[in-house]
Amino acid sequence: MNILSPIVTFQNLHEVRRLCHWGPVVALSVIAMCSSMAVLDSIIWYWPLDTTGGSINFIMLINWSVLILYNYFNAMFLGPGRIPLEWKPDNQQDTAYLQFCRLCQGYKAPRSHHCRKCDRCVMKMDHHCPWINNCCGHHNHAYFTSFLLLAPLGCIHAAFIFIMTMYTELYDRVSFGWSSVKIDMGAVRRVHHPIMPFGVAPFAATLFALGLALGTTIAVGMLFVIQMKVILRNKTSVEVWIEEKARDRIQYYQTGEEFIFPYDLGSRWENFKQVFTWSGSPEGDGIEWPIHEKCHQYTLTVEQLKQKADKRVRSVQYRAVEDYNGACCPTGKGFNTFLRTPCSEEPRITLIKGETIYATRGTKWWMYGDKVLTEEQAKAGARVRGWFPRQCVEKCHYDTANNSAPPEEKKEQ
C-alpha cells in the first residue's frame, strides 16, 4: 500500500483550495514556526549535529514534523466520507425511521448529519473543524485524532529545546538567583560551539516559539482528551449531545423508556478498533454499523425523530419588533448583547420588523430559532435558522407553536 497516496491523490483538484482558509493557514504557520525554530536552535546554539545526541535529536524533530503533517493532510484531504446524493435505504420501509435531507435530496443514513459548511451529509459526523477546513467523520477520524496526539508531543519536544537553548546561551550572562539549585551545564559547555552569536532577535524568536509550543500543547492536548473519551465509547461529539437530550426527554415526559446507546460495543478496546486499524481504513462502510445486542440499526435515528417532534412541540412563536442585520456582535442592541454573543459557529439570521420566528432555545440575551418563510420558499427547500438578539423580538400572545409547526419544519432535513 502506498502510504503517500492519500496525500498526493485528490478526488477533485478543488480540494487543494481547502488550504486557502484561515484555519489551515494558522495551523500550518504554527507547525512551521515551532518546527523550524526547534531545528535552528538545536543546530546553531544548543545541540549541534557533530554529536551523537544532536543527531538523534535532529532526527526526532524531523520525525515529529513528518508525522504531524502526514496526519494533518490526511485528515484534511481524505475527508470524512459523504453520503451519496439522493441516497435511500435498500428497504423502502426503512425510510420511516430516517430523516430526509432536502438539500441532498436523500435520506440521512444512521450516524450521518448534514454539514452546512460542506453542504453535504457526512458519514459519522463528529464536527466541522475549521483548523483542517473539513469535517471530522468516518474516514478521517483516526487521522484527525492522531494529529491531536502527535502535535502536543512534538511541541513538548520543541519546548524543551527552546528552554534549554535560552538557558544555555544566557547561563553566563544572567544571574538567575538560584544559589541552591543549579543545572550542571558542564557536558553541554564542553561540546557547545555556537555557529553564530545568540542575540536579541534569536532570543525573541525562540521565546515566541516557546509560547506557541506551550499554548498548542495545552489547547490541542485538551482536544485529544475529549476525542479519546468519545472514541472509547464509540460515539461522536454530536451523538453525545443526542444521548443527553434523549435522557432529558425521557425524564421530562416520564415515559419510562430505557435509552441504550446502540453503538457502544461494551468494550473500550472494541470501540477503539472501530476507529483505529492497522490498515488505516476504519471499520464499516459508513452506512451500517455493529450495534448493541438490545438495539437495531435505526435505534438512534428513531430517537432523533422523537427529539425533532419534541422540539416542534416546545418551540415558541415570536414576532420581530426591531430590525437586525445579522451582525455577530451588534453594537446597537445593548452592551450585554454585544459582549455575550453566543460562542458558536452557528449562523446569525437577519430580522425585519414583523417577521415570525419559532424559537427553540436561547440564553438571557440571545435566542435561536427558525424564521417562518413563504410557502414557495419552503417548497424550494429553503431554511433560515440561527441566533438573533432577544431584545429584537417579543413573544406572540396568540402562540400557535404547539398546534402547528412552521412550514420548513413539517418535513425535517
Q: What is the pLDDT of residues 116-172, one digit of tens each?
A: 889 999 999 999 999 999 999 999 999 999 999 999 999 999 999 999 888 887 765
Q: For position 195, what pLDDT does the model report?
A: 65
Q: For position 404, what pLDDT does the model report?
A: 46
Mean pLDDT across the stretch 255-275?
93
Q: For position 413, what pLDDT does the model report?
A: 40
Q: Per-residue pLDDT for 182 more than 70?
A: no
Mean pLDDT across the stretch 167-186?
56
Q: Per-residue pLDDT for 66 more than 90?
A: yes
Q: For position 226, what pLDDT does the model report?
A: 95
User: Rounded to an integer, what distance in angstroms lies between the CA atom of residue 336 and that of residue 211?
Assistant: 32
Between residues 124 and 190, the one the model is more confident about: 124
- Within 41-51, where are the H helices? none
Q: For position 172, what pLDDT does the model report?
A: 54
What predicted TM-score, i.e. pTM, was given to this entire model?
Answer: 0.83
C-alpha grid cell, residue 293: 445486542
Q: For position 178, what pLDDT does the model report?
A: 47
33 residue type, one letter: M
CB 337 within 8 A of CB 365: yes
> Which residues are part of the catalytic machinery?
129
Q: For position 15, what pLDDT does the model report?
A: 76
Between residues 16 and 133, the one the model is more confident about: 133
Q: HSE (CB half, 13 Å, CA atoms) of 180? A: 0
Q: Per-residue pLDDT for 379 more than 80?
A: no
Q: Per-residue pLDDT for 193 more than 80?
A: no
pLDDT averaged over every residue in the chain? 86
pLDDT digits (tens, 9 = 90+) for 324-341: 999 988 988 989 999 999
Q: For position 279, what pLDDT does the model report?
A: 84
Residue 44, C-beta contacts closer than 8 angstroms, at least 6 positions apart: 194, 195, 196, 202
Q: Per-residue pLDDT for 309 more than 60?
A: yes
Going by C-alpha positions, the residue among 163, 162, 165, 157 that lies closest to residue 188 is: 165
Starting at the edge strand found earlier in the chain, the sheet holding 393-395 runs 385-389, 366-371, 356-362, 316-320, 393-395
Q: For position 61, what pLDDT does the model report?
A: 94
Between residues 361 and 225, the one the model is more confident about: 225
CB 356 within 8 A of CB 382: no
pLDDT band at 398 (very low <50, low <70, confident <90, very high): low
Q: For position 397, what pLDDT does the model report?
A: 73
Mean pLDDT across the stretch 296-322?
92
Q: For position 221, what pLDDT does the model report?
A: 97
Q: Per-residue pLDDT for 5 more than 60?
A: no
N-to-C CA span, the chain: 39
Q: What are phi and psi of 22, to 5 degrees?
A: -60, -30
266 residue type, one letter: G
